[in-house]
């Protein structure tokens, strides 16, 4: 499976199919961070060679890799949204301060699911 394919699936899982929230480089970083953990936890050996995970991971390895990478991506999104603002003007209000908390909860839930599997 190529990094491009993994990034596309990860982007869909994050609800960001058009790349509006996080760039490909960040998602690639999340995948690269997740791979050693999945290999350790499943006692398998995979490497990224020329933009491709080798040897081809089985379905469980792929799913856990994507799940762990999604948790890393949530951590990145939490950091990116930590300084968001709240704004009121008359009868209009915009409050983006809770986004970081939402991403933190997502990360926690994903890690719990990862550990459960």
Confidence of residue 18 (pLDDT cuts 50, 70, 90): confident
Q: Which of 53, 23, 27, 24 is nearest to 39 (CA)?
A: 53
Q: Which of 106, 103, 107, 100 is nearest to 86 (CA)?
A: 100
Per-residue pLDDT at 116 exceeds 80: yes
Per-residue pLDDT at 86 exceeds 80: no
pLDDT: which is higher, 82 or 116: 116
pLDDT tens readout for residues 56-74? 999 999 999 999 999 999 9
pTM assigned to the model? 0.85
Q: Which of 24, 106, 34, 99 is nearest to 11 (CA)?
A: 24
Per-residue pLDDT at 97 exceeds 70: yes
């Amino acid at each position: 499976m190529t990094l491009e394919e993994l990034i596309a699936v990860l982007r869909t899982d994050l609800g960001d199919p058009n790349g509006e929230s996080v760039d490909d480089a960040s998602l690639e970083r999340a995948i690269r961070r997740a791979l050693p953990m999945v290999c350790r936890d499943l006692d398998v050996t995979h490497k990224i060679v020329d933009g491709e995970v080798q040897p081809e991971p089985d379905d469980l390895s792929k799913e856990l890799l994507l799940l762990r990478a999604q948790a890393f991506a949530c951590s990145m999104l939490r950091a990116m949204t930590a300084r968001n603002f709240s704004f009121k003007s008359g009868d209009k209000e915009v409050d983006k301060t809770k986004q970081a908390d939402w991403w933190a909860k997502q990360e926690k839930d994903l890690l719990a699911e990862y550990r459960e599997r």
